[in-house]
Amino acid sequence: MINPIIAANWKMHKTIPEAVKFAKQLKKEFPEPGDVDIVVAPPFTALRPVMEVLKDSPIHISAQNMHWEEKGAYTGEISTAMLVDAGCEFVIIGHSERRTLFGETDGMLNRKIRAALKSGLKPIFCIGETLEDRESGTAFEVIQKQIKEGLNNITSDDIKQIAFAYEPVWAIGTGKTATPLQAQEAHRFIRETIATDLGYAHASKTVIIYGGSVNPENTGSLMDQPDINGALVGGAGLDFESFAGIIKISKR
């Protein structure tokens, strides 16, 4: 049985007081461990204050990005040691906005994944196709390449520590969502691709979550799909009531 992950990616939103207020609400609403793993990914400035609020709760903290080097002259970057020190357990790697807006390549993401695993952080590895890829019929080729190159030289044991997030680029922040069947088809393909390295017994336990305009209205139909194990929530994760609603729906 896979515990679903419901993760809120706050992106470049929330000041420290706003993040702390949200964290306090979340801790009050979900004080005990349940059958859903709740994760929040604040901006870097709010990581430590949010950790101080949530340290005695079952809610996990994720960073939104990281650098693959341990330290050095990388102005504006942040290392895995800094994230661990701030209380992070997870780190989002390869979000479509990092790929498209900041030019991150599969090779760069591979280095980040290896660095995250070395430090004990659990990567949430994002993969997904553009609208052009889908319309041209190459969506699965793109996804397979992202997985193979992103996991290059990563051991089978380490792959078991990774959660995968399928996020069709055409559904990120657009209000468009893949239909439950489209999402299931992609999740099934991702699981089968992972099975080529892990074997299906292990791949069947891999957490694969969906990201792309997730909200309380569509969560139920997405979570009903056999290969969807949670959600990476963007806009709806900024509003407490919406995010709490997504978590509650996912518990059923």
Q: Which residues are catalytic?
A: 95, 167
Cα separation of 35 and 80, whole Å?
Answer: 28
- Please tell me the distance from the alpha carbon of residue 136 to that of residue 120, in angstroms, as a whole number: 39
DSSP conformation class of 64: S
Distances (CA, A) of 121 to 17, 35, 127, 136, 192: 26, 21, 18, 36, 25
97, 211 contact by CB (below 8 A): no
**Phi and psi dihedrals of 122, rounded to 5?**
-100, 115
Q: Return the sign of the alpha-carbon dihedral for residues 79, 85, 91, 97.
A: negative
Read off φ and ψ for residue 48, nearest 5 degrees.
-65, -45
- Which of the 8 DSSP states describes residue 45? G
> What is the residue whose two structure tokens read 């979570």?
223
How many CB atoms lie under 10 A from the CB of residue 87? 17
18-36 CB burial, b ≥16 within 10 A, e <16: ebbebbeebbeebeeeeeb
